[in-house]
Amino acid sequence: MPLGNKITVNSDKSLEDFLANIREHYEKHKYLTISVKTGKQRTSTQNNSMHLYCEQVADELNSAGFDFRAFIREGIHVSFTRDLVKEYMWRVIQRAMFKKESTTELTRQECSEVYEVLNKHLSEKGIHVPWPHKGE
């Protein structure tokens, strides 16, 4: 098993294989740098749902008459988009809560927690978008 690839250790067997691989590489090179991440990363279904959710939030905010005014002169109407919702709403909450820049770094639980905070904030403005489910 070549190092440099992502390796998941989730059983006694995979742990044994990983440790043997590490030993082999250490004996050969005498220097290793290893990063460890814990927790299950958000799933591809959660990723797809997050993008669909951001798109649906943008549609709801636009339908409710809200507009997005950032880094431009006031008075210019800018409609929400999926990417604006993701970058300036979702990611702001994500950074504040978990100090993580990329949505790929979120665990399944963290993804759910960001949604809950954003949904609560939107509901205070009369907007509710349920989390999309597979097939939507």
| pLDDT (tens digit per residue) in 56-81 | 999 998 888 887 764 445 666 788 89
Arithmetic mean of pLDDT, 30-52: 84
Q: Which alpha helices (H) appear in 1-136, and where do they start and end?
A: 12-29, 44-63, 82-85, 91-98, 108-123
> Cα(80)–Cα(122) distance, rounded to whole angstroms?
14
Q: So what's the pLDDT on residue 3?
A: 59
Arithmetic mean of pLDDT, 96-122: 93
Task: Give percent above pLDDT 90 in the chain.
Answer: 44
